[in-house]
Amino acid sequence: MRRAPRRKASGRWRAAVLSVAAATVTIVGVSSCAVGPDPGPDVVTGGDGAAEAPTSSSAPAGPPPIQAPRNELDWTDCGRESAGRWDIDPSGGVSVECAELSVPVNPYRPTGDTLTVALTRASVEATPADAPPLVLTSGSDVPSSRTLMMLATSPGRSVLARHPVVAVDRRGSAASSEIDCMTRFERAAMLSNGLAEGPASQEQRVDRLARAASSASDGCTETLDPHQLDFGEAFAAADIEALRIAWGVDQLALVGVGEGADVVLAYAGNFSGRAGRIILDTPTPFGANARDRAAARATGVQAALRTFAQRCNATGSCPLGADGTARIAGVLAKGRAGDLGGLSDTEALSAITTSLALAADRPESVTDLAAAIAAADRGDVGALTRLADRAATLRTTDGQLVSHCNDVSGPVGQNEIPGLIDSWSRQNPLTGADSALSLMRCNAWASSTPVNPPSALPVDPLMLDGANDPINGGGGAEALGGLFIRAGTTPTRVTWDGLGYSVLARSACAAEIVAQYLGDEPLGEPTDRGCPS
């Protein structure tokens, strides 16, 4: 196969990133020290390198103190720019500001190469000037700045009256030195999971996707060398540590949404004592292998789609009719057969799940999406195509693929995919095949060393457990039980059975509990709570 032209290592990404980048705050220059794991204040390092908590009986009771930044960044207003970029307007008194950090590409083995990490801050007029910020990451799911914009326009925005929220876009995506390392052919193959060249048998589809994944791996490795493995969770955590150092504070309050919870746990493990608050919002199963994560996602997203169909039907005028899941299944079948105006089943499913995840907080959001699906079923794919294009921008950029592949543990072989498609499709007809095929996207990528789970946590976490997350599905909270036992901690768990991505953004009740958790006193009993949807 003749490969399409590709940007070389000396192209735009390396010219802009692998240099001493001009940014608002420079954390590491050519000759500075590493921003590697730091044991934190008043922590003694044991002989095996593990961080040990201080044993002094005079240690203060309660959670670690969190502070407002001692050194503020150079924030500039970017509300209009952000609203245009993400097609969502956080008006109504919300102030949106942006700043940048220059960080080492590899903080653990500094070479002088740097990249830029983009920061977005939301606040309101009532936000106290001396309030400690809450640092938000949604990892490689969607840009953190987009998740913040959803928070700023949803019931969870009430938290802004007490604390500003600062989103850290994951390196390599959005405005954080965005990566450009794949060809158009490779991107199309990834977006469609092997149907960009037209309808195909299952065997042909798997083979097409495998070839595109191998080609993309070669090209991205060539473009990013020697930093092709420097975009995983450990490096995202190091970028957050660079922010802490820039602010000059001892501890950070952190919220990880979806896959961002993995980044927060990586931070807690690598920078012991620096995580003053740990909020895991609908977390993914930290440390699970690729097969188990994909299987759990298929089951959870299937449940979210079923909930969507039920809630649409409950309106009494659902465009999907009485059996919404069957209507969705019909649209996906048309995508597989090439009868959906050029959209594959994977692109149609991504359009639906992304729209559900990030839908505006209004009753019409459910019926508007249902109308787009019903129209596509009738042959009018315009609305669904626009949603698919938006989903591609938010979820499948080159940088997100590189970050995701860096984090893969236990990759699945190509010969196993057909069997997984068959078995998972029987269990989850809407999502099983897509989850199995998506495993192939990182098939040829060399994964980085897995991040060890934290052996201890400086504070009991707060876990917001959403049952209907259309991006990752539910179940991640349950999978973290063993980690908490080994770390000797008891989290407070808040359940929410609403529909959407980020419990904090969607629930004013959860936002109130988060505000209490950010205070100076422990939350206390009960450790199991619930918020209405």
Task: Give pLDDT tens digits for 8-64.
Answer: 433 334 433 443 333 333 333 322 333 444 333 332 222 333 333 333 333 446 899
**CA distances in angstroms from 262 to 103, 139, 287, 382, listed in the order given:** 20, 8, 8, 36
Q: Where are the beta strands (DSSP E) in 54-138?
A: 76-77, 94-104, 114-124, 134-137
Please tell me which residue, 362 or 359, carries the higher pLDDT value: 359
pLDDT of residue 279: 98
Q: Angle at Cα 98 formed by Cα 472 and Cα 152, nearest 5°? A: 50
Q: Domain residue spans in the chain? A: 66-176+231-287+451-531, 184-226+288-442
Residue range 501-513: mean pLDDT, rounded: 97
pLDDT of residue 492: 97
Residue 259 pLDDT exceeds 70: yes
What whole-number distance in Å separates Cα of residue 523 and Cα of residue 260?
23
pLDDT of residue 336: 97
Please tell me which residue, 415 or 34, carries the higher pLDDT value: 415
Residue 219 pLDDT exceeds 60: yes
Inter-residue contact 17 to 398 (CB < 8 Å)? no
Residue range 280-299: mean pLDDT, rounded: 95
Q: How far is CA 113 from the centre of its chain?
A: 25
Residue range 93-111: mean pLDDT, rounded: 94
Convert the pLDDT of each residue in 64-76 to its tens digit: 999 999 999 999 9
pLDDT of residue 46: 29
pLDDT of residue 410: 86
435 DSSP 8-state letter = H
Residue 1 pLDDT exceeds 90: no
Q: How confident is the model at residue 100 (pLDDT cuts 50, 70, 90)?
A: very high
Most confident of 79-88, 108-117, 159-168: 159-168
Q: Angle at Cα 258 formed by Cα 137 and Cα 159, nearest 5°? A: 55
Q: Where are the beta strands (DSSP E) in 160-233?
A: 165-168
Tokens at 482, concatenated? 């063993």
Residue range 407-423: mean pLDDT, rounded: 94
Residue range 191-215: mean pLDDT, rounded: 96
The three-state secondary structure class of 332 is: helix
The count of other CB atoms within 10 Å of the CB of residue 391 is 23
Residue range 108-134: mean pLDDT, rounded: 95
- The fold of the 66-176+231-287+451-531 domain, in CATH, is Rossmann fold (3.40.50)
Residue 74, CB-side half-sphere exposure with 13 Å CA sphere: 7
Residue range 256-264: mean pLDDT, rounded: 98
Share of the chain above pLDDT 70, in %: 89
Q: Is the peptide bond before 39 cis (omega within 30 degrees of 0)?
A: no
Residue range 341-357: mean pLDDT, rounded: 97
Q: Which helix (H) or strand (E) holds 492?
A: strand 492-499
Residue range 471-495: mean pLDDT, rounded: 94
**Residue closest to 250 by CA, chosen among 169, 132, 122, 171:** 132
pLDDT of residue 62: 82
